Amino acid sequence: MKNIKFYNLSILNKKYEKYFISSFKKINNNGRYIIGSYVKKFEKKLSNFCNSRYAVGVGNCVDAIKLSFMTLKIVGNLKDGDEVLVPANTYVASIIGILSANLVPKIVDINSSTFNINVSQIEESITKKTKAILVVELYGHPSEVDVINKIAKKYKLQVVLDAAQSLGASYKKKNVGSYFDLTCFSFFPGKNLGAFGDAGAIVTKSKKNYEILNSLRNYGEKPFSDLKDRKYINNYIGVNSRLDEIQASVLLRKLKNFKRDQANREKIANFYNKNIINKLLIKPVQLKHTNHAWHLYVVKCKYRNKLKKYLKKNGIETMIHYPRPFYKQPAFSQFIFDKTPTTDKIYNEILSIPLHPNLKKKEIQYIVKIINEFK
């Protein structure tokens, strides 16, 4: 069999080429390239999809996290130097989002099955400085929402969700974006809902949060609908992180197919779950009352490096998300983080195998066959 790529974005996006060209012409004719009609339409559709009230399109998910924490500081819930709990198993972007808001990350070890924050360790990690939790749903499994909300209420902690990889997930039939006050999304091209470049969004049920976020993304300027109404009044010290019309138009079109694509992802994941029987691998779980987004299908194997080479030899491309935890990166050497043995362990064992809507049935069957023959 020919090589099976982890994903091929050019093939995934091929069907959108004509639409992309058509929408670009409309945008060019209109002459509004940033925060125009496509952005507004996408924000409305996204908030509806998430069962939330408001959505604010921004440049990327790092900015979404930063702006969320900036908003919480403006409303008086946080201040510079406050501590934010965050799972040790996360991408560096989550930490940059915290630090760029002048807050301090404090890591908590993870649940080895879901790869999410270990809720049983949250309370023991709380100090007098702890004022917030950045929940991260890495790989697509939703968090243990009820437990987190209960702890947050008990200790008066703010909760922000990094849902960069979990759009499409749900907890007790509540869509991601509806079960915490501020939820941040990434639309990086490789995501389940991917743009043709960088893009992100924040959804919230709070009108006050929405108004502040809407201002912060555009230098802190008072929002305006029509350019003729622009007053150049800056109420906050904001940033330049605005979703452009081209990315919004692509996302708006792709959102129409999102449920179908998600159903395909789930179908493939279920096939893997049922048919991968090699006992050298531990398959991902899906806890009761949850619906996995299946952004990634991550297996664990004590012989991960051997497995990766074996799959490559047999024409199956895989990836490691991620090769080194952020707290072992040179950029963060000045910080002293708590020990996280579970996270340390899984970083030597995790491997992501192909999972995307364009996988053919024979390719999926071949992947399973080759994995089951690994020894």
Confidence of residue 147 (pLDDT cuts 50, 70, 90): very high
Q: Tens digits of per-residue pLDDT, 77-118?
A: 999 999 999 999 999 999 999 999 999 999 999 999 999 999
* Res 228: pLDDT: 73
pTM of the shown model: 0.97
For residue 50, give every residue at least 6 positions away whose Cβ sits within 8 Å of its Cβ, in sequence order, or none: 175, 176, 177, 178, 183, 203
* Res 225: pLDDT: 75
Instruction: Quote the DSSP letter at residue 332.
Output: G
Q: Contact 227/207 with Cβ under 8 angstroms? A: no
Peptide bond into 322 cis (omega under 30): yes
Among 2-11, 124-133, 253-262, 286-295, where is mean pLDDT lowest?
Answer: 2-11
Instruction: Quote the DSSP letter at residue 167.
Output: T
* Res 223: pLDDT: 87
Q: Contact 84/133 with Cβ under 8 angstroms? A: yes
CA distance 263 to 32: 35
Q: Where in the chain is the domain with CATH 3.40.640.10?
A: 9-253
Residue with tokens 């360790």: 121
Q: Tens digits of per-residue pLDDT, 315-339?
A: 999 999 999 999 999 999 999 999 9
What average pLDDT does range 299-314 have in this prediction?
98
Confidence of residue 224 (pLDDT cuts 50, 70, 90): confident
Q: In sequence order, which ranges of the chain are alpha helices (DSSP H)? A: 9-14, 17-30, 37-49, 61-74, 92-99, 122-125, 145-155, 207-216, 245-275, 304-313, 341-346, 361-372
Strands 290-291 and 170-171: antiparallel
Residue 326, class by beta-carbon neighbours within 10 Å (0-12 exposed, 13-18 middle, 19+ buried)? buried
Residue with tokens 């301090």: 104
What average pLDDT does range 47-73 have in this prediction?
98
Output the CA–CA distances (angstroms, integers) from residue 143 to 56, 212, 365, in the order listed. Answer: 23, 27, 30
What average pLDDT does range 344-367 have in this prediction?
97
So what CATH class is 9-253? alpha beta
* Res 2: pLDDT: 75
Q: Cα(first)–Cα(last) distance of the chain, in Å? A: 21
* Res 229: pLDDT: 76
Q: How many CB atoms lie within 10 A of CB 360?
A: 9
Output the CA–CA distances (angstroms, integers) from residue 48 to 69, 105, 343, in the order listed. Answer: 23, 32, 35
Q: Where in the chain is the domain with CATH 3.90.1150.10?
A: 257-372
Q: Tens digits of per-residue pLDDT, 158-216?
A: 999 999 999 999 999 999 999 999 999 999 999 999 999 999 999 999 999 999 999 99
CA distance 16 to 5: 20
Q: Contact 40/249 with Cβ under 8 angstroms? A: no
CA distance 278 to 29: 57
Strands 200-204 and 54-58: antiparallel
Task: Report which secondary-structure segment, H or E, holds 87.
Answer: strand 83-87
* Res 83: pLDDT: 98
Q: How many CB atoms lie within 10 A of CB 150?
A: 12
Q: Tens digits of per-residue pLDDT, 266-297?
A: 999 999 999 999 999 999 999 999 999 999 99
Burial 73-95 (b: 16+ CB within 10 A, else e): bbeebbeeebbbbbbbbbbbbbb
Task: Report which secondary-structure segment, H or E, holds 291.
Answer: strand 290-291
Q: Tens digits of per-residue pLDDT, 8-55?
A: 898 889 989 999 999 999 999 999 999 999 999 999 999 999 999 999
Q: Is the pLDDT of residue 231 over 90?
A: no
Confidence of residue 235 (pLDDT cuts 50, 70, 90): very high
Which 3 state secondary structure label does DSSP give 140? helix
The pair of structure tokens assigned to 104 is: 């301090």
So what CATH class is 257-372? alpha beta
